[in-house]
A and B are shown apart, each in its own frame.
Chain A
Amino acid sequence: MGTVVGGFVLPHDPMMLTHPDAPPADVRDRVHAAYAEVARRLAALDPTTVVIFGTDHYILFGPGCLPQLLIATGDLDGPVERLPGLRRGPLPDNAPLARHIAAHGHRNGVDWAVAPTFTADHSVVLPYQLVAAPLELPLIPVYLACGVEPLLPLPRAARAGEAVRDAVEAAGPDERVAVIGSGGIGHWVGTAEMGRLNTGFDRKVLDLVAAGDTEALAALDDAEILAEAGNGALEVRTFVAAMSAVGPCRGDVIGYEAVPEWITGLGFAELLPLEAADVR
Chain B
Amino acid sequence: MSKEGVEKALYDLNVDRRAREAFTAEPDRFAARYRLTGDELALLTERDVRGLAARGANPMLVWGFWLMLPPEGERGTPAYLARMRSDTPRMHDTKGED
Contacts and interface: CB of A to CB of B under 8 A. Distances in A.
B62 interface: yes
The DSSP consensus for interface residues of chain A is loop
Interface in A179-224: 189-192, 194-195
Nearest to A232: B60
A244 interface: no
A192 B14 contact: no
Residues of B in contact with A, size category: 20 to 34
Contact of A192 (B8, B58, B64, B85): B85
Contacts of B93: none
A189 B7 CA distance: 16
A58 B85 contact: no
Interface in A30-53: none
A63 interface: yes
- Max chain B C-beta neighbours (<10 A), residue from A58, A147, A190, A195: A190
- Max chain A C-beta neighbours (<10 A), residue from B12, B53, B63: B63
Residues of A in contact with B, size category: 10 to 19
Contacts, number: 51
B81 interface: yes
Contacts of B61: 58, 190
Given A194-B81, A195-B81, A147 B8 contact: no
B12 A192 contact: no
A191 B57 CA distance: 11
A191 B8 contact: no
Nearest to A62: B11
A63 B63 contact: no
B81 A192 contact: yes
A148 B64 CA distance: 14
15 contacts: A57-B60, A58-B11, A58-B58, A59-B64, A62-B12, A63-B4, A64-B8, A147-B58, A147-B60, A189-B63, A190-B53, A190-B62, A190-B64, A192-B50, A192-B81
Given A62-B8, A189-B59, A192-B53, 15 more contacts: A58-B11, A59-B15, A62-B15, A63-B11, A64-B8, A149-B58, A190-B58, A190-B60, A190-B61, A191-B59, A191-B84, A192-B84, A194-B63, A194-B77, A231-B60
